[in-house]
A and B are shown apart, each in its own frame.
Chain A
Amino acid sequence: MKRRQQGILTGMPFMANIAPRTFVDDLGRKLYLANPPKRIVSLAPSITEMLFAIGLDEEIVGVTDFCNFPPAALTKPKIAYSQPNLEAMLALQPQLVLAPPSFIRPDFLAKLEQLKVPTFILESKTVEGILGHLQLLGRMVGHASRANEQAAKLRKEIGDLTRTIEGLPRPTLLYVLNSEPLITVGPGSFIHHLIELAGGRNAAERASAPYPRLTMEEVLTQNPDMLLFPVGEYEGIPQAEQDRWKRWQSLTAVREGNLFQIQSDLLNRPGPRVLDGLRELVRILHPDAAARETPPTPSFP
């Protein structure tokens, strides 16, 4: 893509609001869509979930192998994840490809540009980012009102949820992304953000990388009150590895039996189900507050 000098405001995110059918993605690339695209390929489970959440279905013509939610996603044609099959994708004749920045290779992106396949990169690192993306996608595909409605609803519910834990002490939580060797989430990662939002303190908050290998000494020093293991269909810590944490008897989490599991999809995917993930986190971090809260309404109607 060429960047042309068009004026001082060109390329800034809010330009998207000014020029109605021009959109700017998270790599700063501009995309002009004359009409809402009718054939969309999603290259991330979180994006697939967003698309369904704003009411699309028929328009979604291709998803990744890992797109397992909502159930309708399972029936969509699959193109691989980290190594998307270009031919399979082109055969779907996409009018819009939505991709996360992390797994898409620069050469693949360049090829799509060369083939004039409209490609849009979405990277959500915060809850606000997800809400913004929902609305942005709504405008792109012509479902603006539905998307705004969804975003507002999510914003309200997240606000309600976080209000219940306001002022409460913040327990320390260690999220075990990989057990042996220990890899966790640090500042800069989405899950770190969620832990803080849910009223917790990340045991790896001193780490220097978003996905650091943490020394066991640091874990013992931070002495987390709870350990959280992702489990799920595609990824997760095996039970045997979870059980081996029980030898660290000096950890408050172990002594008090605070070893929790969470569906990894709920935290790993910066999509509309982030509310469910947050709710789980609050339930783990602040069981008393969670009990007071009104029963959750499903985020999908």
Chain B
Amino acid sequence: MTPSPVSTDSSSSVSIPRIHSTSRAGSSITGGRPRLTPLRWGLWVGGGMAMVSVVCVVCLGFGTEAISFSRIASLVASTALGMGGEMVADDPTSVIVLQVRLPRVLLAFLVGGSLAMVGVALQALLRNPLADPFVIGISSGAALGASIALLFGVGISILSVSALPVCAFAGALFSLFIMYRISSAKFGFSIYTLLLAGVVLNAIFSAFIMFLTSIADPNRAFGMYAWLMGTLIGPDFPTLGVLALYLGLGLFLLTAHSSSLNLLTLGEETARSLGVDVERVKKLVFIASALLTGAVVSFSGIIGFVGLIVPHAVRFLVGADHRLLLPLAGLVGGGFLMIADTVARTVLSPTELPVGILTALLGGPIFLWLLTHRQAQLGMK
């Protein structure tokens, strides 16, 4: 070793002032959040699940028909206990609760949860807290794919698990790819670039969709418009199961990578220097996000801003650690959309509103507020 060219004062006589001694390691992070342990994680996620269950039962209690909570509780309990038991087909209350409300509430949960988790993942990947599958044009891409499938008869109906989700998936993947190329361009990476690109991408896809609807026959076009506005229909349980499977796969991929997502928020180069296999993680997160967005859009059309509001709220609550943020955003997003959809189907009863209208009315202003008041946090200064 070469002798130190620096005079002897450096290493021993001057030491860095230490505020905390190492003996207090582990337990003593001043202020802020306590450390994330499996226990704390379990408490949050368990609490979230309990909350979602309560919300679910409450949402089951609202609808066009007035049905008492005790009746709903007994119906749900008897179904849950006697799994697979024959449901009384001609009891209207039972049909309404178990075949209309329950599938729809569950669908709202799956859709809302997926959108929120995709929002979280995209925000981490693009390092942009305003990324939302709707805002940056991923939903439109999926909708375009789905519209093509619908109009060219690949899968005539919206609910069939056929070519439709595949086309929606392809559309979502395509727009994600474009978005990513834009955001990772050597020059001009900024939150604004991404938002502007999203606006333009949305405009292009909307134009294509309008083109398709204008050449379609009026009734199909009418149905497509209705679907694009963001609608939840209570599917039957097998369909719901298939969707849950679809989404489960995407959610598993995202959750498994949540530690890597934490590092990706530091930037790709830094993440790589910390040992993240960035290319692989990016690819997987992209595919998972496209999978989720495609599945969700092919079931429920375009429901905007859930992926924006919910991650912000949850981050405010528990911080940015994706190991907790992802599952909790999923639960909160699910709960949020269950409530929003309950409002949508009861406020003008027996007519219902497309739930996409509600989320946009709620989310749009919040988005603007974030854009104008939270610039520092968004790293826009």
Using a CB–CB distance below 8 Å, which chain A residues touch chain B? 66, 81-83, 177-183, 186, 204, 206-209, 212-218, 220-221, 223, 230, 234-236, 238, 240-241, 244, 247-250, 264
Residue B354 lies at the interface, judged by CB distance under 8 Å to chain A: yes
Cβ contact of B219, chosen from A215, A223, A249, A264, cutoff 8 A: A264
Asked if A212 contacts B220 (CB within 8 A), the reply is no
- CB atoms of A181 and B231 under 8 A apart: yes
B219: chain A residues within 8 A (beta carbon): 177-178, 230, 234-236, 264
Which residues of chain A are within 8 angstroms of B236 by Cβ–Cβ distance? 247
In the complex, what residues of A have CB within 8 A of residue B231's CB?
A: 181, 213
Q: Which of B101, B226, B350 has the most CB of A within 10 A?
A: B350
Judge whether A217 and B96 touch: CB under 8 Å: yes
Residues of the B chain whose Cβ atoms lie less than 8 Å from the Cβ of A220: 92, 95-96, 100
Contact of B160 with A249 in the complex, beta carbons under 8 Å = no
Could you write out 11 A-B pairs with CB less than 8 Å apart?
A: A83-B214, A208-B348, A212-B351, A212-B352, A215-B100, A215-B350, A217-B96, A223-B92, A241-B156, A248-B99, A250-B91
User: B279 on the interface (CB 8 Å rule)?
Assistant: no
B233, CB-defined interface residue at 8 Å: yes
Is the C-beta of B192 less than 8 angstroms from some C-beta in chain A? no
- The complex places the Cα of A230 from the Cα of B218 at a distance, in Å, of 13
CA distance A171 to B67 in the complex (A): 26
Partner of B352, one of A66, A213, A234, A264: A213
Measured between C-beta atoms, what is the minimum distance from A227 to chain B in Å?
16
A215–B352 CB distance below 8 A = yes
Interface residue tally of chain B, by bracket? 35 or more
Residues of A close to B345: CB separation below 8 A: 215, 217
Tell me the minimal C-beta distance from B89 to chain A in angstroms.
5
Identify A216's interface contact among B100, B159, B222, CB under 8 A. Answer: B100
- Residue B349, interface by CB 8 Å: yes
Q: In the complex, A156 Cα to B312 Cα: how many Å?
A: 67
B353 interface residue (CB < 8 Å to A): yes
Taking CB atoms, residues of chain B closer than 8 Å to A217 are: 63-65, 96, 100-101, 345, 350
Partner of B218, one of A183, A234, A240: A234
Chain B residues with Cβ below 8 Å from A236 are: 219
* Cβ B351 vs Cβ A216 within 8 A: no
| A215→B218 contact, CB < 8 A | no
Docked-complex contact A214 and B350, CB < 8 angstroms? yes
- B9 CB-CB contact with A under 8 Å: no
Which residues on the B side are within 8 Å of A212 (C-beta)?
350-352
Q: In the complex, which of the residues A216, A235, A247, A248 has the most CB atoms of chain B within 10 Å of its own CB atom?
A: A216
Q: Kindly count the residue-residue contacts between A and B in the assembled complex, taking CB atoms under 8 Å apart.
A: 111
B217-230 vs A, Cβ < 8 Å mask (1 yes, 0 no): 11110110011000
- Name, among B89, B91, B219, the residue most crowded by chain A CB atoms within 10 Å (CB to CB): B219
Restricting to B184-234, which residues have a CB under 8 Å from any CB of A?
214, 217-220, 222-223, 226-227, 231, 233-234
**How many angstroms from the CA of A177 to the CA of B218 in the assembled complex?**
12
Are A180 and B351 within 8 A (Cβ)? no
Minimum CB–CB distance from B185 to chain A (whole Å) comes to 38
| From A83, A206, A250, residue with most partner B Cβ within 10 Å | A250
Q: How far is the CA of A81 from the CA of B348 in the complex (A)?
A: 32
In the complex, which residues 89-110 of chain B have their Cβ closer than 8 Å to any Cβ of chain A? 89-92, 95-96, 99-101, 104
B157 touches A (CB below 8 Å)? yes
A180 and B217 contacting across the interface, CB-CB below 8 Å: no
The chain B residue with its CB closest to the CB of A243 is B157
Docked-complex contact A240 and B350, CB < 8 angstroms = no
Q: A204-B350, A217-B65 are in contact. Are A249 and B233 (CB under 8 A)?
A: no
Contacts of A82 in B (CB 8 A): 214, 218
**A214 to B350, alpha carbons, bound, how many Å?**
6
Q: How many whole Å from B357's CB to the nearest CB in chain A?
A: 11
- The distance from the CB of A18 to the nearest CB of chain B, in whole angstroms, is 39
Q: How far is the CB of B26 from chain A (nearest CB, A)?
A: 54
Q: Are A180 and B159 in contact (CB under 8 A)?
A: yes
Q: Which residues of B contact A177 (CB under 8 A)?
A: 219, 222
Which partner residue on chain A sits nearest B234 by CB separation? A216
Q: Which residues of B contact A215 (CB under 8 A)?
A: 63-64, 100, 345, 349-352
A86 to B20 CA separation, bound complex (whole angstroms): 81
- CB-defined contacts of B99 to chain A, threshold 8 Å: 247-248, 250
A235 to B96: give the CA distance in the assembly, Å. Answer: 30
| B158 contacts the other chain (CB 8 A) | yes
